[in-house]
Amino acid sequence: MNDISVDVAGEMDPPLDIPVKSKFPSFMRIPTHIPDPKEWISTQRQNVRSWLVFIQTSNFKAPPSIPRLGKRIMRNIEYFQANYLFVFLGLVVYCLITSPLILIAIAATFYAGYRLNKRHMENKKIFLFKKELTLAHQYGLVVACSLPVYYLVGAHSAMFWVIGASIVVITLHAAFYNIDALVKSDDAYPLLEEV
């Protein structure tokens, strides 16, 4: 018998600089880490397409067929993702402006959190039933006390209105906006090609 030894030592981890291709569009991918909020907002602001192009009425056309409708919606959501985010935020602001009680309740919650944080920085302790409450417990109590107030002022109905209105507005825009007039090539969206 021949004894042949093979050296199997080496690096087992794949190199980290190879880009991984995903089969989903970028707006449907699950994030692998939580981004910094300031960095994320800055990125979204940079990705906003021209608002004149976004609302250009000459590009609104009915889709030629049902299979093309699905493709058009996906391509529009991919292309105008940041614009749709700002449409959603605009609807949130509109809802808060037209519902002053919700705005007052949110301001009261943030003020209570600010006061608790300030008290915590001054090393003043809060006790409940002879037990010291951590800052996280104090925030939890503020949230628990705020939820019934939010319910009474109608925050739940405002939240569902904003979600529903956003879905309707974004879907209508994505369904009727002719993205083919802007993006000619399917190379940018290879996963959305018809089969």
Quick one: pLDDT at residue 193?
47
Task: Tell me the C-alpha distance between 127 and 133, whole Å.
Answer: 6
Q: How far apart are CA 145 and CA 137, in angstroms?
A: 12
pLDDT of residue 164: 94
Report the percentage of the chain scoring pLDDT > 70.
79
Mean pLDDT of 76-96: 90
Q: Would you state the pLDDT for residue 128?
A: 75
Q: How confident is the model at residue 145 (pLDDT cuts 50, 70, 90)?
A: very high
Go through 3-35 and write b for each residue having 16 or more CB atoms within 10 A of its CB, e for each that does not.
eeeeeeeeeeeeeeeeeeeeeebeeeeeeeeee
Q: Write down the pLDDT at residue 101.
A: 92
Average pLDDT over residues 145-156: 92
- Position 191 scores a pLDDT of 45
Whether 153 contacts 101, CB under 8 Å? yes
pLDDT for 42: 80
9 versus 21: the higher-pLDDT residue is 9
Q: Would you say residue 109 has pLDDT above 90?
A: yes
Q: Is the pLDDT of residue 72 over 70?
A: yes
